[in-house]
Structures are given as structure tokens and as C-alpha cells.
């Protein structure tokens, strides 16, 4: 048996916290967590069940790096969604670009304002 029990959180670097919050809160409808302590840099946490996403407003060491056009060929954070069809409508209505999973599963990939790839799946 592995010593690892479960995933606790994924941290993503963001350069413009306001734009990132507009995406994560406005497009993906996540709510900020009050559990984030005061730290030496700005950011926000989102609780998703027992897991979290942490947005860290810090300079990216990969600034200017060209990312693959399909998020499935890049490192990404995968999230389950309640209603895949409603998600597609929401992304289209907000002008958020996405590509469907090439595996044939009901999943898609999009990027946040900083180019962090997300897989959203049924």
C-alpha cells in the first residue's frame, strides 16, 4: 500500500489575480475559501469537496513558454463536473476556448487566463 492517501490541492501560478478570479469564479463558478491564511503573497483558495485549488499570485518561471494547443498534451488539473452539456454552453457563452478530449471520453480541455490547462470531465 502507498504511503500517499489522497490528493489535497493543486497550486497554479497566476500573474493577474483579478482576471484569474473572474475565470475561476465567474466561468467555473467556484467560491473562494475563507481558510487561506495571510501569506507573503496574494492568492485565493477554492475548496472542491475535500480537495482544493490554490491560485498563487507569483511570477511564473515559465513566462513566454509556448504551450501545446491541446491542454491534454500539457500538464493539467482534472476536475469532475456536474453537467457536461451545461459546461459546454457556459464556456461558449463566455468565449472560453476549449478542445475535446481525444480519448473519446466526455471531457474537454481549456486554459485559464495564464495558460494553465484544466481538464473538465463528466
The tens digit of pLDDT for each residue in 57-112 reads: 999 888 888 899 899 999 999 999 999 999 999 999 999 999 999 999 999 999 99
Strand duo 117-121 + 76-80: pairing: parallel
Give 69 or 26, the one with higher predicted confidence: 26
Q: Domain residue spans in the chain?
A: 9-60+68-121
Question: How confident is residue 19, by pLDDT bands cut at 50, 70 and 90?
Answer: very high
User: What does the pLDDT read at residue 64?
Assistant: 83
Q: Burial-class residue 52 by CB neighbours within 10 Å (0-12, 13-18, 19+).
A: middle
Question: Strand 51-57's sheet: what is its strand order?
Answer: 9-14, 51-57, 43-48
Indicate the pLDDT class of residue 3, thresholds 50, 70 and 90: very high
Q: Which grid coordinates are listed for 63?
A: 513566462
DSSP state for residue 37 in the 8-state scheme: P
* pLDDT of 74: 93
The pLDDT of residue 65: 85
| Model confidence, pTM | 0.92
pLDDT of residue 61: 85
pLDDT in tens, 42-55: 999 999 999 999 99
What is the pLDDT at residue 115? 94
CATH number of 9-60+68-121: 3.10.180.10
Amino acid at each position: 500500500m502507498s504511503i500517499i492517501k489522497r490528493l489535497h490541492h493543486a497550486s497554479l501560478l497566476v500573474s493577474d489575480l483579478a482576471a484569474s478570479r473572474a475565470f475561476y469564479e465567474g466561468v467555473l463558478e467556484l467560491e473562494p475559501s475563507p481558510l487561506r491564511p495571510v501569506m507573503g503573497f496574494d492568492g485565493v483558495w477554492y475548496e472542491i469537496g475535500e480537495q482544493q485549488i490554490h491560485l498563487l499570485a507569483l511570477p511564473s518561471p515559465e513566462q513566454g513558454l509556448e504551450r501545446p494547443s491541446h491542454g491534454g498534451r500539457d500538464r493539467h488539473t482534472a476536475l469532475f463536473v456536474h453537467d457536461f452539456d451545461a459546461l459546454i454552453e457556459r464556456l461558449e457563452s463566455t468565449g472560453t476556448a476549449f478542445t475535446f478530449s481525444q480519448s473519446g471520453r466526455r471531457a474537454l480541455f481549456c486554459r485559464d487566463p495564464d495558460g494553465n490547462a484544466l481538464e473538465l470531465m463528466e
